[in-house]
Amino acid sequence: MQATATVLVYSDDAGTREQVRLATGRRPAQDAPVVEFVECATPAAVLGELDRGGIDVCVLDGEAVPMGGMGLCRQLKDEVFDCPPVLLLIGRPQDAWLATWSRADAAVTLPVEPVEFAAALASLLRRKALAA
């Protein structure tokens, strides 16, 4: 597995972005790479970062404003060639069907529960490494 992974975190809420960083720590699991974060507060910034390349996993806030992570995820899966895996942060467990509609690779509920989040992120990083 690569030594470092780049994780894009999209949320208009700085507190949510902080929850993601804290739940991840230096690495989400012992066998996962060290994580570097790219934080975005707007959909345009997300698209710009993905155009630059080098993003291993995207974490998108389904509750973000003005564009929620679910709609953005669906757009990314439709428009970005070789789109990185997406971990969607959803407001309620009942919203899991919307995460499926958006084509997210995984979903966890807000507020971020550190163990659940780290396990989901580590799983996506492992899957990405196997595909590479």
Per residue in 31-63, pLDDT (tens digit) is 999 999 999 999 999 999 999 999 999 999 999
The C-alpha angle 10, 16, 19, rounded to 5 degrees, equals: 115
Give the model's pLDDT for residue 129: 83
Dist. CA 69–CA 7, nearest whole Å? 15
Give the model's pLDDT for residue 3: 87
CA dihedral 49, 53, 57, 63 (to 10 degrees): 20
Contact 76, 34 (CB under 8 A): no
Give the model's pLDDT for residue 89: 98
Sole residue written with tokens 């707007």: 42
Give the model's pLDDT for residue 2: 72
- Residues of the chain falling short of pLDDT 70: 1
The tokens for 6 are: 């780049």
